[in-house]
Amino acid sequence: VIVAGTFFPAGSSRAIPARASLEGKTLRISDETGAVLVEFPLRQVRASSRLGNVRRRIELPDGSRFETEDNDGIDALFQSGGRYPRGAVLHWLESSYKWVVASVALAALSITLTIMYGLPAAALWLAERTPHRIAVTISEQSLQTLDRLALHRSQLDPADMHKVRILFARISAAGKQGKSGYRLMFRDGGAVGPNAFSLPDGTVIMTDQLYRLVRRDDELEGVFGHEIAHVDRRHALQLAYEGSLLPVAIALITGDASQFGQVATVLPLMLLQSHYSRGFEQQADDDSAVMMRRIGGDPAAMAALLERLDKEICGGKECAPGWLASHPATTERISRLRQEGKSQLPRSR
């Protein structure tokens, strides 16, 4: 490649018509007769950035310079010497509308990803840093709201309650916070129907209607394990925080707990409508299976209860019966739990 231009010797105002060429990795500037004016290794030479059609300037180590309007020639010269002058890539990007379209698409994608992963990640971060006393306050207010709006005093007889408490104690010993970290409360679910849910402070609420559907003890243990897993993984806080990230962040930073009032208002409704994502439900099912194994129970027992709920309440149709509200995923949950049950067999031999 030979590039025509003008040579300006160091410390001189003379302008000499010249040519730049490459000899191996050496840049050679020669005059019109072919006599060599200067020669330098290409890596010691600096080329100005390419900016539209502005003349390019090549600065040489001895203070002399070479200027040309042949932008493409300079780029070709540097590239054949294995170097990319500054600005070349930028120019290439600017001149390619496809890259403009691509970068707009990339920006849109990154905003979507921030919403999909950024918000839940922020909610998890805050949930993990929520002090226990705040979890207690949110839970107490939520339970008050639930009792006012939807739940009634349990009708279970004391003998049944006693039996259920023993089951709850067994499985809660396998939870992260240990036996004393959780408490069970009984309620008549009324229109809420068969349901169980947990509050951030470790309170698990079971409705009488759910109890009446249970046929085996380990079905109930599986349900409690599932609810305890929601507590351990701070799912309720995450769910509530995703809807009110800013007030929660402010409350945690300033220590102004009154900001959590909003959380206590939205949480009960979210719990009643089972707003948990499929991912959260799967995590809770998996954790429950682990806990069931730890106490020597059948991890797949809960699957039978899920199936019964599905059949008796929905009759196989799409419906949202409380604990099953993530209905489209129910069949998947059942087969996952059954899989857990099978994988247990070789270990117990």
By CB under 5 A, name the binding residues for Zn ion: 281, 284
Nearer to Zn ion by C-beta: 132 or 278?
278
Query: Nearest approach, Cβ of 331 to Zn ion (angstroms)?
Result: 16
Instruction: Count the Cβ atoms, other than its own, within 10 Å of residue 97.
Output: 8
Instruction: Give, for 227, the enclosing helix (H) or strand (E).
Output: helix 217-232
Q: Which residues contact 114 (CB under 8 A, 6 or more apart)?
A: none
Which contacts of 36-45 are long-range, i.e. CB under 8 A and separated by 24 or more positions? 37/7, 37/9, 38/7, 38/62, 38/64, 42/78, 42/81, 42/82, 42/83, 43/83
Nearer to Zn ion by C-beta: 85 or 202?
202
Calpha distance 317→103 (Å, rounded): 45
Calpha distance 143→223 (Å, rounded): 19
Query: Nearest approach, Cβ of 296 to Zn ion (angstroms)?
Result: 23
- Residues 70, 75, 80, 82: what is their CA dihedral angle, to the nearest 10 degrees? 150
Query: Nearest approach, Cβ of 49 to Zn ion (angstroms)?
Result: 58
Nearer to Zn ion by C-beta: 249 or 266?
266
DSSP 61-123: TTS-EEEES-HHHHHHHHHHTT---TTHHHHHHHT-HHHHHHHHHHHHHHHHHIIIIIHHHHH
Calpha distance 55→325 (Å, rounded): 69
Calpha distance 309→214 (Å, rounded): 9
Query: Nearest approach, Cβ of 229 to Zn ion (angstroms)?
Result: 8
Query: Nearest approach, Cβ of 106 to Zn ion (angstroms)?
Result: 36
Query: Nearest approach, Cβ of 230 to Zn ion (angstroms)?
Result: 6
Query: Nearest approach, Cβ of 280 to Zn ion (angstroms)?
Result: 7
The conformation of residue 292, written as its DSSP 8-state character, comes to H
